[in-house]
């Protein structure tokens, strides 16, 4: 009988409205339970939001004392960034360097002659070499643009080509190597060689390399006398003993041109130093006995010899000399000192760019007191020559970077140098006539930003707690740093956790941590955040506080000038203020940041305070959802029961109405009779 209705009954007896009213009353507990679920969900969302605030603040704290703390960040400042720039890593030392960039590293870049716009490159195997690496491909023949496109496709990071219309009827093509340094010359082979000659990239060259002869007949003195005991010459290797200097004549077949270098192999050998500190005086001359004479049995002794010896003076310990300035070039009346060499037990190749217009001799000098210097394979080489060929119109030719750092000459094959200053990568842009000052120091801006971020997140966290635990709207009004969305959220959740002791305790403890003193090397001079300009009343004189009444709530302000001064003058003290090792076990256990991290850990860890709160709310939500589901089934059954009862009632009323009508009709019929 359930779930049935009689057409017209509702409009006649309005039982549907009665059932709806009864159901509204019956749904009141359901609405209450649904409201509870919404409240639980809202509370969970707020706890999660608080968890994010605490986690962010804790992360800031850990960054200020952990392994990647900003106090170890370094920055390299160049006095002329057009010549030289640098990037410093955390391992770099704080220091200053004077660097002169005499020459940047270059790559080969060759230009063709002017070619007809319809010029076609022949088919064949095109092979290009960049140093000891090779690019090769088969070309089926075609235009300059087609060849350039194929070079670029196959060239990867080794070679590149471009075509430029230098007039409406002609084209020029450029081919460049993408590797700098003398060890990476560009050379053409097979069909590429034929194409290079035809297109005017290269031409036949003269002598590319000239060896310098080493023999006893050509070696001559320089400033000091020279004899054969001062050097050895064996199997083409010349060894200079300490105190030796000499000249080696150079007879080039042509003038010194751009791209010519001096190459030679050098090794050194450290020899034991003479020990003179314990020298004893000499024993002196041997004096024979004075002798005697006998006469008639009488012996007459001669007087002993009287020898006056000079006063002996202990020799001075010879001064130890280290001088790696060994090589010089002399031409005409000019003598040029080449960069210093480095110690090496094995022969090492040294290469020097020739700067003078002429060279007559190579001058050698070994001023070292305890070092042998051996040279071999001395030669002058033209770096522009590629085998038997040389470029016709080189836009640039391979060269090494040449720089001087604190008076030390340095060569590298790249303009990006990361093995010169530990922890620093240099980038050379162009040569300069004067020294560039490179200052490597702490990145004070990074330190400052990390501290400002910590204070900002601290204020936001305290504001968050105040919003949740108080019903005072001035909390929102005075927090001038809130965004519109944050203000809307604050108005919605103001006082949601009113009287929550855990959150009040959290706020009080955070305030204490930020105000407490901590041990540093500065002792009483720097032991509080207030000493570096961070306090509840830190606004500099003459400035209006941006926090207004919020000082009374424990929010912090920063006096930037004071913070800047502290970081600049005592960065290590500031570092210790946020995190230090109090018991010398190499583990941080003191400081503001450490204390914050240690205290906040139980709040945000898995299974911690906030996690437990959200888990409890999840359990309540699940339990209440089960109750709602059960109550919905009850409502469905209750509504069905009401419809069944009221349906039976309507049927009974309808039957009574019909009986009444029948009786009326019967009475009416009887009266008519």
For the residues of 570-618, what is the DSSP string, one character each? Answer: -HHHHHHHH-B-SSSSSS--BSHHHHHHHHHHHHHSTTSHHHHHHHHHH
Residues 166 and 218 in one domain: no
Are 474 and 594 in a shared domain? yes
pLDDT surpasses 90 at 481? no
Strand partners, 186: 130
Contact 544, 556 (CB under 8 A): no
Number of domains in the chain: 4
186/213 same-domain check: no
**Average pLDDT over every residue of 117-123:** 94
Asked whether residue 266 is domain-assigned, the answer is yes
Instruction: Please tell me what DSSP assigns to residue 236.
Output: T
Domain for residue 636, yes or no? no
Lowest-confidence range among 13-27, 84-98, 237-251?
Answer: 13-27
The residue out of 575, 600, 625 marking a domain boundary is 600
| CA pair distance 673, 667, nearest whole angstrom | 10
At residue 241, the pLDDT reads 93
Same domain, 478 and 579: yes
**Is residue 141 a part of any domain in this protein?**
yes
pLDDT given for residue 284 in this prediction: 67
Q: How confident is the model at residue 235 (pLDDT cuts 50, 70, 90)?
A: confident
The answer to whether 124 and 178 are in contact (CB under 8 A) is no
Q: Each residue of 517-552: pLDDT tens digit?
A: 999 999 999 999 999 999 987 654 444 454 444 445
pLDDT, averaged across the chain = 87
Q: What integer pLDDT is reported at residue 553 of this predicted model?
A: 64
Cα four-point dihedral sign 228, 229, 233, 238? negative
Do 485 and 580 belong together in one domain? yes
Instruction: Judge whether 340 and 325 are in contact, CB under 8 Å.
Output: yes
In terms of pLDDT, which residue wins out, 292 or 496? 496
Provide the pLDDT for residue 666.
72
**CA distances, 28 to each of 18, 23, 63, 630 (Å):** 16, 9, 52, 14
Rounded to two decimals, the pTM is 0.69
Q: Which domain holds residue 414?
A: 74-105+400-441
Comparing 477 with 426, the larger pLDDT belongs to: 426
Q: Which of 174, 204, 234 lies at the terminal end of a domain, its last residue?
A: 204
282 located within any domain = no
- In this prediction, residue 671 carries a pLDDT of 64
The answer to whether residues 373 and 430 belong to one domain is no
554 secondary structure, DSSP code: T
Q: Pick from 554, 580, 600: which residue ends a domain?
A: 600
Of the given ranges (138-147, 250-259, 365-374, 461-470), which has the lowest mean pLDDT? 250-259
**Element holding 346 (H helix, E strand):** none
Q: How many CA atoms lie within 13 A of 252 on its CB side?
A: 23
Cβ-proximal residues to 410 (8 Å cutoff; 6+ apart), any chain: 339, 402, 403, 404, 420
| Per-residue CA distances from 76 to 380, 609, 661 (Å) | 38, 45, 109
Return d(Cα 554, Cα 512) in angstroms, integer.
10
Identify whether residues 92 and 116 lie together within a single domain.
Answer: no
Looking only at the bridges linking them, the beta strands covering 209-211 and 142-143 are: unpaired
CB atoms within 10 A of CB 237: 15
CA 88, CA 75: separation in Å to the nearest integer?
A: 5
Same domain, 408 and 492: no
Pick the range with the lowest mean pLDDT from 51-60, 155-164, 447-456, 635-644. 635-644
| 150 domain residue, yes or no | yes
Alpha carbons within 13 A on the beta-carbon side of 548: 8
Do 429 and 341 share a domain, yes or no? Answer: no
Q: Residue 213 and residue 216: Cα distance in Å, rounded?
A: 10
Is pLDDT of 276 > 70?
A: no
Q: Which residue has the higher pLDDT, 9 or 381?
A: 381
**67: three-class secondary structure by DSSP:** coil
Q: ∠ CA 618-620-622 to the nearest 5 degrees? A: 70
Segment 72-92, tens digit of pLDDT: 999 999 999 999 999 999 999
Length of the chain: 673
Confirm whether 1 is domain-assigned.
Answer: no
C-alpha to C-alpha distance for 50 and 53, rounded to whole angstroms: 5
Point out which residues pair with 240 in neighbouring strands.
231, 373
The Cα–Cα gap between 19 and 650 comes to: 13
* 231 and 368 housed in the same domain: yes
Look at residue 82 and give its three-state secondary structure: coil
* Residue that is written with structure tokens 């130890």 in the block: 320
Is 411 inside any structural domain? yes
From the CB of residue 339, how many other CB atoms can be counted at a distance below 10 Å?
21
State the distance between the two ends of the chain, measured CA to CA, in whole angstroms.
43
pLDDT band of residue 312 (cuts 50, 70, 90) is confident
Q: Are residues 587 and 553 part of one domain? A: yes
Region 198-225 average pLDDT: 86
User: SS in 3 state form for 257-304?
Assistant: CCCEEEEEEEEEEECCCCCCCCCCCCCCCCCCCCCEEEECCEEEECCC
**86 and 185: one domain?**
no
CATH code of 333's domain: 2.60.120.260
Q: Predicted confidence band at 389 (pLDDT cuts at 50, 70, 90)? A: confident
* b/e sequence 296-331, b meaning 16+ C-beta within 10 Å: eeeeeeeeeeeeeeeeeeeeeeeeeeeebebbbbbb
Q: Is residue 288 part of a domain?
A: no
CA-CA-CA-CA torsion sign (457, 463, 465, 467): negative
User: Helix 444-469 vs helix 571-578: angle between axes, to the nearest 10 degrees?
Assistant: 30
Residues 529/515, Cβ–Cβ less than 8 Å? yes
- Confidence band (pLDDT; 50, 70, 90) for 5? very low
**Confidence band (pLDDT; 50, 70, 90) for 386?**
confident
Distance in angstroms (rounded) separating the CA atoms of residues 176 and 585: 57
Q: Comparing 660 with 601, which gets the higher pLDDT?
A: 601
Residue 328 has pLDDT above 90, yes or no: yes
Strands 231-234 and 133-139: unpaired
């Amino acid at each position: 009988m359930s779930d049935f209705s009689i057409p017209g009954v509702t409009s006649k007896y309005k039982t549907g409205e009665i059932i709806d009213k009864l159901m509204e009353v019956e749904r009141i507990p359901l609405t209450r339970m649904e409201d509870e679920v919404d409240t639980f969900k809202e509370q969970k969302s707020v706890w999660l939001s608080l968890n994010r605030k605490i986690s962010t603040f804790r992360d800031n704290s850990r960054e200020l004392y952990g392994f990647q703390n900003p106090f170890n960040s370094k920055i390299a400042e160049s006095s002329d960034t057009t010549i030289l720039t640098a990037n410093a890593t955390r391992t770099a030392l704080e220091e200053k360097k004077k660097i002169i960039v005499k020459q940047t590293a270059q790559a080969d870049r060759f230009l063709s002659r002017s070619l007809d716009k319809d010029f076609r490159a022949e088919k064949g195997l095109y092979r290009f070499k960049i140093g000891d690496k090779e690019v090769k491909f088969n070309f089926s023949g075609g235009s300059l643009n087609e060849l350039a496109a194929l070079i670029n496709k196959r060239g990867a990071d080794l070679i590149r080509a471009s075509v430029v219309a230098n007039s409406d009827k002609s084209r020029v093509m450029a081919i460049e190597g993408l590797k700098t340094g003398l060890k990476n010359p560009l050379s053409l082979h097979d069909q590429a060689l034929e194409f290079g000659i035809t297109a005017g990239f290269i031409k036949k060259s003269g002598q590319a390399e000239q060896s310098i002869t080493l023999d006893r007949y050509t070696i001559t003195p320089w400033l000091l006398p020279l004899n054969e005991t001062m050097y050895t010459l064996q199997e083409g290797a010349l060894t200079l003993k300490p105190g030796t200097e000499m000249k080696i004549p150079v007879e080039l077949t042509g003038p010194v041109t751009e791209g010519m270098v001096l190459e030679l192999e050098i090794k050194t050998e450290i020899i034991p130093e003479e020990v003179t500190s314990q020298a004893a005086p000499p024993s002196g001359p041997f004096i024979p006995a004075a002798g005697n004479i006998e006469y008639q049995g009488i012996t007459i002794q001669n007087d002993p010899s009287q020898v006056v010896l000079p006063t002996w003076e202990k020799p001075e310990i010879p001064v130890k000399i280290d001088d790696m300035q060994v090589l010089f070039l002399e031409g005409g009346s000019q003598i040029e000192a080449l960069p210093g060499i480095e110690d090496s037990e094995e022969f090492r190749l040294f290469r020097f760019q020739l700067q003078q217009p002429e060279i007559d001799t190579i001058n050698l000098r070994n001023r070292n007191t305890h070092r042998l210097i051996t040279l071999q394979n001395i030669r002058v080489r033209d770096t522009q020559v590629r085998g038997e060929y040389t470029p016709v119109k080189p836009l640039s030719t391979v060269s090494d970077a040449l720089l001087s750092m604190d008076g030390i000459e340095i060569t590298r094959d790249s303009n990006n140098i990361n093995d010169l200053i530990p922890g620093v990568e240099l980038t050379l842009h162009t040569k300069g006539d004067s020294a560039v000052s490179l200052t490597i120091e702490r990145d004070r801006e990074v330190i400052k930003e990390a501290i400002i971020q910590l204070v900002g997140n601290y204020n936001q966290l305290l504001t968050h707690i105040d919003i949740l635990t108080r019903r005072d709207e001035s909390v929102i009004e005075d927090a001038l740093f809130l965004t519109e969305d944050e203000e809307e959220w604050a108005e919605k959740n103001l006082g949601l956790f009113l009287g929550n002791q855990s959150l009040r305790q959290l706020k009080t403890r955070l305030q204490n941590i930020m105000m407490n003193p901590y041990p540093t090397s500065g002792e009483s001079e720097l032991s509080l955040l207030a000493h570096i300009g961070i306090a509840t009343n830190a606004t500099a004189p003459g400035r209006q506080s941006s926090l207004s009444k919020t000082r009374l709530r424990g929010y912090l302000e920063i006096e930037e000038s004071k913070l800047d001064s502290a970081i600049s003058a005592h960065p290590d003290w500031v570092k210790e203020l946020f995190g230090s090792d109090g018991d010398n076990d190499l583990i941080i256990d003191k400081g503001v940041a450490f204390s914050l991290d240690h205290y906040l850990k139980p709040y945000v860890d898995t299974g911690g305070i906030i996690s437990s709160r959200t888990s409890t709310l999840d359990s309540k939500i699940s339990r209440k959802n089960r109750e709602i589901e059960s109550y919905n089934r009850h409502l469905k059954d209750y509504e069905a029961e009401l419809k069944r009862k009221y349906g039976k009632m309507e049927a009974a009323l309808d039957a009574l109405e019909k009986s009444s009508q029948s009786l009326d009709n019967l009475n009416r019929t009887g009266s008519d009779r």
